[in-house]
Chains A and B, each alone.
Chain A
Amino acid sequence: MLAWITALASRTRAWLSAQRADQEFENELEIHLEMLTEENIRRGMTPEEARRAARIRLGGHTQLKETNRELQGLPMLETFLQDARYAFRMLRKNPGFTAVAVLTLALGIGANTAIFSVVHAVLLKPLPYGNPDQLYNVFQAKPQEGVGGTGWSYANFTELREQNRVFSEMAGSQQHQLTLTGRGEPAVVNTSVVTPELFSLFGEKPLAGRAFFPEDGKPGAPPVVILSENLWRSSFGADPNTIGSAINLDKRSFTVVGIMPVAFRFPLLTKSEQLWIPLVQDPLFGGWMERRGGHWLQVTGRVKPGVSMTQVRAELDAFAARFAKEFPAENDGWTIRMVPLQQMIVGRVRSALLVLLGAVGLVLLIACANIANLLLTRATSRAREIAVRTTLGAGRTRIVRQLLSETAVLGLLGGVTGIVLAYWGVQALGSLLPENLPRVNAIRVDRYVLAFALLLSAIASCAFGLAPAWFAANSNLQSSLREGGGRSGESRNRRRARSFLAAGEIALAMVLLVAAGLLLRSFSKLMSVSPGFEAQHVVKADISLPRFRYSTPQQWAAFSDEFLTRIQAQPGLQDSAVAVPRPIADGFINLGFDIVGDPPLSAGTSRTANYVSVSVNYFHVMGIPLLSGRLIDRRDVFSSSRVTLISKTMARLYFPNQDPLGKQLSFAFPPDSGAPREIVGIVGDVRDVALGQDPGPMMYVPYAQAPFWGANMVVKSTLSPPSVASAIRQEVQKIDKDLPVTDVATMPELIDASVAQARFRTMLLGLFAAMAMVLAALGIFGVISYSVSCRTNEIGIRVALGASRSSILRMILRETLALALAGMALGVPCALAASRLVGHMLFGVSASDPATLAAVTFALAAVVTLSGYVPAHRAMRVDPMVALRHE
């Protein structure tokens, strides 16, 4: 081993000083020769004779030098460099071929690298916390009622946190927004409402000040707040005296105790300006801590090292059973589950990203098939060169090595160009990516992504290099030489390989086109679906009320009443209303309810509907039609009897074959829990959760009877959105100068944003499918062109013997169509299988949609025929005289 290493070292040294070593050896041989010559002269030879004999005695000069060089240097590396140099020369000699091959490959690798950078950042990169694989989201679920992952009540969480034996730490959190005042313009800041253990759970130290102490989470503790570094910089000018100072959140004074470094992000929001307050201090969630029921606290836990998943599951099951036994009213039927935190954060986008990665992989595969085809073509015309090399003594492995070096150089060029494209692609992606994609900030071309790109180009080089090299190595030497390197000498095997590659390209392109077609159709259906309200000219704006000052429902109702009266008095703002939550814009509140007078439901079933609180003008502003009964009007005030409207679907679902008007509902939601509400009207359905989700049952209550803090406005106006916003701002300032008006947006914008992810994947998949189709068309074009040029002779004879030009055209087109049919026959089953992968992303289209399949088949057949037509046309115009003299 040691000897081997010293030999290698000495070889490397010699190789590095190869020039000198060569010269030295030359001298040595020369001296040897002189000595031999002298001896021969002494033996009586003439000087010429002596010199000649000496040469023979010493052995072939060149051969000796070659052997010496081989022994001295690094032969593998040297032959590779030699091959690479030769490959560069070959590539430079064929700039057209090189450009096409490198560009094709660069496109493939660039697209793959760009998508991989997203996959890596979103799915693969560990979360930016210490030992992130120990972190789990622990949630509650009630499977028999179809209730998936929900949060915890504070009481249940505390019991689990204090008494479990499997988690080293657990923390609860919730997110919402508070209004920060006292520093210039009032601002709404992202607020994480947390239990004090959050920071120790993630193992993060503050940049300055301290994290929360357990006492900060106890009732009666003085209000404290921790700022994120970016908030501290942007809103507090990075003032070192911020710690210890007081800030106002929702009109209540909080003492700043710490600043968390920019590296710490929890939750992983797009914006890094945020703050953390103890749960007990929150104006909203703080009031919910006492209740055993309710599922609102998001719980994250760190599993103790060495504890198995089975142990954790057993412990969680035991707690679920205990809760159900001790507090059956709130806990019966609830189970406790957990998922890795990473999966919780990225779970929803995972499959879409993987589909995109698969799609872009197919594009690269097609690119490789194209290049393999080009190389096969070239290998055929190079058959003579290779035959000559073989005759001159090059071994089969040597030939294969040389051809593979050529493809390696090609792959490297493509890879490097691809990386450049990827840099550019990642930037382009950055502006395309939907904002709500988790971890979007982490996307970049880093060393992992670079390694992936290089690995990919190596794999790709092998993929497109092996077949040509194999054919070259196995070609029949004699026939190659005899045929004089003519083009007609393409072997049948090779032609079959080329046709197979081309058909394969068509099949792969078909898979992508079908998937893209399905997504495109689905997206156009999504965009043309009616949301159930008229979004045009509707602007929304949020006015957040400081909950510590406006603390009672009566105050909230009074505020919104005064506010709406003032706004509606403004020119152009007559059609204004307040609603919580607004469709698409705000999410939804799903509530269980009872129908008064109906027998109680059997265990395990429940009635739920989405709950909305709206002001008088709402249905008019949103253009939601009244179907029967009456709308909410001025009579429905806080002191009058409780009323509700229901949606068409709710009437159909819960009041089949009966008139719902006059019936009463009751549901447990503040501020008037359990009060019976009379159904006074039925309104049209609204897609409130998402455009792609069918309308569910909904109920509307008068805002005056069920107000919220703040005013989430909708205004239908012909004024421009900015003037609407400034008019609202003016009026709000007159009521209270500390109230911020935020999140102004038009409803069409919001609807647009709600389909951003669908648009993104549709666009990207469409782009990849287009690339695939162009590449496949190029592939077909190449194969047919080559076939035509090989058959020039034959075509000439046919024409000379009287074949009509159109019959020549037909002959070539038939060949093209045969390829297309073979490709599609292969492609249809693959496409059907693959389209199942996108099935869950489709809206209003089935994964085996025959129209899409037919359209794709037709389009592909047309494109393939077109790409075969150009060479076929050329074949048609072959001049028999020229063709027969050809070669």
Chain B
Amino acid sequence: MTGDKSKILQGTLDLMVLKTLEAMGPLHGYGIARRIEQISEEALQINQGTIYASLVRLIQKRWISGTWSTSDNNRKAKFYSITKAGRKQLHTEAQNWERISTVIGRVLRIAERG
């Protein structure tokens, strides 16, 4: 782990994965990565592989679970879904985010005006 920057990014990515799974229901790794890219309007170009580190972390915290099952086009893949604990975590984290971004936004606006 090299410094705080990636820590923040990590946390952000985890939050996005949780939100995606809450909104979309069970998804495989590729699906999650695509979804995040789409929502962020391709602004967030990630190495799709990094999603897996996030998935491992979330599984270890029991916020999501993963099972192997068959996808729409009849292909076996590992599907992840959000757990109850994950929903709770998402809720608190989302609130945190909103509060922080509001505060930061306000501060930045004041700074601009000033």
Contacts of A67 in B (CB 8 A): 52-53
Contacts of A64 in B (CB 8 A): 49, 52
B84 part of interface (Cβ distance < 8 Å): no
Does the CB pair B53–A71 fall under 8 Å?
Answer: yes
A346–B34 Cα distance when bound, in Å, is: 80
User: Most B CB atoms within 10 A — which of A27, A32, A57?
Assistant: A32
B106 part of interface (Cβ distance < 8 Å): no
Interface of A is mostly: helix
Segment touching B, from A5-13, A223-231, A461-469: A5-13
Contacts of B57 in A (CB 8 A): 71
Does the CB pair B30–A32 fall under 8 Å?
Answer: yes
Number of chain B residues whose Cβ lies closer than 8 Å to a Cβ of chain A: 21
A35 part of interface (Cβ distance < 8 Å): yes
Contacts of A10 in B (CB 8 A): 59-60
A31 part of interface (Cβ distance < 8 Å): yes
A71–B76 Cα distance when bound, in Å, is: 24
- Cross-interface CB contact of B52 among A3, A11, A25, A39, cutoff 8 Å: A25
A58 touching B49 in the complex, CB below 8 Å, given contacts A28-B29, A36-B30:
yes
Which residue of B has the minimal Cβ distance to A39? B34
A107–B49 Cα distance when bound, in Å, is: 54
- Cross-interface CB contact of B48 among A7, A11, A36, A72, cutoff 8 Å: A36
Which residue of A has the minimal Cβ distance to B59? A10
A3 touching B61 in the complex, CB below 8 Å, given contacts A28-B77, A31-B76, A57-B48:
yes
Number of chain A residues whose Cβ lies closer than 8 Å to a Cβ of chain B: 26
A720 to chain B, nearest CB (A): 83
Contacts of B34 in A (CB 8 A): 39
A68 touching B48 in the complex, CB below 8 Å, given contacts A28-B77, A31-B28, A35-B30:
no
A423 to chain B, nearest CB (A): 45
Contacts of B76 in A (CB 8 A): 31
User: Most A CB atoms within 10 A — which of B29, B56, B61?
Assistant: B56
Contacts of A72 in B (CB 8 A): 56
A59 touching B49 in the complex, CB below 8 Å, given contacts A31-B76, A35-B30:
yes
B6 part of interface (Cβ distance < 8 Å): no
A31 touching B77 in the complex, CB below 8 Å, given contacts A3-B61, A7-B60:
yes
B108 to chain A, nearest CB (A): 33
Does the CB pair A28–B47 fall under 8 Å?
Answer: no
**What 0/1 pattern do residues 88 to 102 of B give for CB contact below 8 A with A?**
000000000000000
B-binding residues in A (CB < 8 A): 3, 6-7, 10-11, 24-25, 27-29, 31-32, 34-36, 39, 57-60, 63-64, 67-68, 71-72
Q: A31-B77, A64-B52, A68-B52 are in contact. List 8 more A-B contacts (CB 8 A).
A: A29-B49, A31-B28, A32-B49, A58-B48, A58-B49, A59-B48, A67-B53, A71-B60
Q: Sorted from nearest, which 9 A-B pairs have the closest CB atoms?
A: A59-B49, A59-B47, A35-B30, A7-B60, A64-B49, A71-B56, A10-B60, A32-B30, A58-B49
Query: Can you name 24 A-B residue pairings with CB atoms under 8 Å?
Result: A6-B60, A7-B60, A7-B61, A10-B59, A24-B78, A28-B29, A28-B52, A28-B78, A31-B29, A31-B30, A32-B28, A32-B29, A32-B33, A34-B75, A35-B28, A58-B47, A59-B50, A60-B49, A63-B49, A64-B49, A64-B52, A68-B56, A71-B53, A71-B57
